[in-house]
Each structure stands twice: as C-alpha cells, then as structure tokens.
Amino acid sequence: MDLNLKDKVVIVTGSSSGIGLETAKRFLAEGARVFGVSRDMSPAGNLAPKVRWATLNIDLGTEGSGEHVAEAAMDTFGRVDVLFNNAAVCPSRTGFLDVSDAEWMRTMNVNLLGYVRMSRAVIPHMLAQQKGAIIHCGSEAGRMPHPLLPDYSASKAAIALLSKALAREFTPQGIRSNVVAPAHIRTELWDRPGGFLHALAEQYGTSIDDAVDVFLKDSKLPAGRLGTAGDVASAVLYLASNLSEFISGDIINVDGGVIPTT
C-alpha cells in the first residue's frame, strides 16, 4: 500500500535510538527525506545519502531549540511536511516523594515544552504550505500513571491536551495533530542500567531476566508480549500519511490491548 510519503520532509526528534530511530528508518524506507534530531545523533549513523538524511545535535530542553531545528530543516530540504515529536526523558523513581522540583522541571521542560517548541517552530512553515501533520509520542502512562514514573506520566498527560489544542486551532488550516500512545514497548529505556526493567526487578524481588515474565503476568497484557519500536513506528507512519487525513485531535493506543483497571 502506497502511503504517499515519497519525498515528504519529516523531522523526527529523539531519533538516535529506540522508537525515534526505528521511525526514521521506516520513513526513509518509504522514500521520505528525514531530518533526525537528538542530543547526540552519532549512534544512528548514516542511514541514507545526504540528499535524504540529515541530522542535528541539539537539546530540545533549551529555549530557541525548536526554531533552530526548523530553520536547519528548511535550509537542508526546503520544507517541512511532518513532525514526529518524540524526544523525551523517562527517569525511573522510587515514587512521588522521590521527585524534587528540579527533577519535575527537567522532565516537563523536555517532554512537554520540547514538544511545544518544535510545534511552534514548524507550524508557520506548514501554514504556508496549507498542509502538515504533527504526531506526538504520548504514553499509556498519561492515562494510567505508573507509581515509578510520576513526573513522566504527568508530562505525557499534558501532551494529549497539547495535541488537542493544536488540532482545534489548526486542522481548519490543513494541519493535523495526533498522538500515538505506546505502552509496554521494550526499548533501551527498559534495558539500560538503572532503567525501567531494573526498577521492576527490584520491585518484584526477581532477577532482571525474570522481571519481564512477572510483569507480563502482573499486567495481564492481552497481547502476551512486550511491544517493539516497529509497532509504534507503523502507527506514526499511518498518521503521517494520506490514509489518515480525516483524523485529527485523536490518540492511537499502541499498547497490546491493555485495559485500565479504573
């Protein structure tokens, strides 16, 4: 099926690893031109020729970073058709009382204001084209917060409202805004030292190897497995394509069929 993404210019933030990297690869496979953004893009390597793949090292937690990214993408490719807001931090906590003001501010500054900065920077270019798609990476934690992720969960809840605000204002002008909300996706955030998997192993009193099985049983995940970055990337490409041009202000859950308990 042709997603009509050939030669579209796509900005993917947080594209040096995990969901962002896999999504960038999928867009490139569809013939898009991709501008990859992260604090350090070197792990992504050279995914495609320079005429289709460009990168920028930048911290989206800094003021003016969104404008810098948009200007660089425009200078490189001449337009911006799609933005995938994906860059985020996800620090594991011992609980709500463990999180200081400074840690709350850091999480919100990257996870929420980073998305605000990027959206604000690309929308004028999309308005000039009278068309564009913005996809934000949310999380199931934004609907059902996890005790080990209080600040992350709150930031993801805010992203859902940000997307709806953008959709209400800009859909009449040809710019769609939607959210993909992953849950239980095994990326580097799970497996890194001190990551979510290590926190779960400590919580369950098991080894790291056994923590996934215990988690799947405890969460009663209908799919019976953890998701992959590719599962999320497929949803992002759908929302970027013409197949979803009547969808705006919505949230697509990529969560293996998980059902909230309340």
Catalytic positions: 152
Distance of alpha carbon 164 from the chain centroid: 16
- What is the Cα–Cα distance from 148 to 189, expressed in whole angstroms? 13
**Of the candidates 187, 175, 178, 185, which has an alpha carbon nearest to the alpha carbon of residue 123?**
175
Sequence-separated (6 or more) residues with CB below 8 Å from residue 242: 3, 4
The answer to whether 175 and 119 are in contact (CB under 8 A) is no
Sequence-separated (6 or more) residues with CB below 8 Å from residue 173: 127, 130
Q: Structure tokens of 46?
A: 């050279």
